[in-house]
């Protein structure tokens, strides 16, 4: 029974991602998600009380994916700046690979009201905290000099957010260009030069 519920929930999320990506939040109707997911309204409302909760679940799902990919990349590296670099590359690669969910997370959630804004800020804080953790570690092992890692982590999030927004809207710059330019720039901002 749990596997069936999980499968239904995943079908609903996949369908919602597809329709939200194509039509936007406001123009998506629950009936369209029912049709695309081959479920019923009852199934959707069992898992998600309303369209807002469904949208927020997609944001959480994408944030979990980014964090999981980043944690996996970091686990391969020794403590210090190598983990910071791996985290940056992982985040940028994940955004590059998943443009549609990135669009939902970064573009469509903006301006949808206080609940969505709160979720967006929560996700940004989650990743700023992750960056801060590995910057603190890089300082601890002597890879970079002491800096205000809280401020730097939010500045990095702002830079990443802005360039990814540009890419989501226009398709430019391409993800490989973003990686080649952003990673060295951000690392130089904490006095690390390869």
Which domains does the chain show, CATH number per domain? 1-49 (1.10.10.60), 56-188 (1.10.357.10)
Ranges of beta strands (E only) in the chain are none
Instruction: Output the pLDDT for position 82.
Output: 92
pLDDT in tens, 14-44: 999 889 888 888 889 999 999 999 999 999 9
Other C-beta atoms closer than 10 Å to the C-beta of 172 total 9
Structure tokens at 61: 């799902």
CA angle at 154 for the pair 126 and 168, rounded to the nearest 5°? 80
Structure tokens at 49: 């009380």
Instruction: Output the pLDDT for position 148.
Output: 98
Other C-beta atoms closer than 10 Å to the C-beta of 83 total 23
pLDDT in tens, 44-72: 999 999 998 998 898 898 889 989 999 99
pLDDT at 108 over 90: no
Other C-beta atoms closer than 10 Å to the C-beta of 86 total 20
Q: How confident is the model at residue 93 (pLDDT cuts 50, 70, 90)?
A: confident
Instruction: Output the pLDDT for position 1.
Output: 65
Residue bearing the bigger pLDDT, 142 or 168: 142
Other C-beta atoms closer than 10 Å to the C-beta of 77 total 15
pLDDT at 180 over 80: yes
Instruction: Output the pLDDT for position 43.
Output: 94
Picking from 21, 13, 159, 18, the residue whose alpha carbon sits closest to that of residue 92 is 159
Residue 154 CA neighbour count, 13 Å, CB half = 6
Please state, in angstroms and rounded to a whole number, the distance separating the CA atoms of residues 185 and 56: 32
- Polymer length in residues for the chain: 194
Please state, in angstroms and rounded to a whole number, the distance separating the CA atoms of residues 93 and 81: 18
Mean pLDDT of the chain: 89
Contact criterion met (CB below 8 Å) for 95 and 88 = no
DSSP helix, strand, coil percent of the chain (3-state; round to 5):
80, 0, 20
Which residues neighbour 1 within 8 Å (Cβ) at sequence distance 6 or greater?
Answer: none
């Amino acid at each position: 029974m749990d596997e069936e519920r999980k499968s239904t929930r995943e079908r609903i999320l996949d369908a919602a991602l597809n329709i939200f990506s194509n039509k936007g939040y406001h123009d998506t109707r629950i009936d369209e998600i029912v049709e695309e997911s081959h479920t019923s309204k009852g199934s959707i409302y069992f898992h998600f009380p309303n369209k807002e909760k469904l949208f927020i679940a997609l944001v959480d799902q994408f944030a979990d994916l980014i964090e999981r990919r980043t944690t996996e990349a970091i686990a391969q590296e020794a403590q210090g700046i190598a983990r910071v670099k791996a985290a940056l590359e992982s985040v940028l690669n994940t955004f590059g690979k998943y443009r549609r969910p990135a669009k939902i997370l970064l573009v469509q959630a903006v301006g949808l009201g206080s609940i969505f804004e709160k979720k967006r800020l929560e996700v940004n804080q989650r990743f700023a905290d992750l960056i801060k953790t590995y910057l603190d570690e890089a300082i601890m092992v002597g890879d970079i000099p002491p800096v205000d890692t809280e401020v730097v982590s939010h500045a990095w999030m702002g830079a990443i957010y802005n360039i990814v927004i540009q890419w989501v809207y226009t398709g430019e710059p391409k993800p490989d260009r973003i990686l080649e330019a952003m990673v060295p720039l951000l690392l130089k901002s904490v006095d690390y030069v390869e």
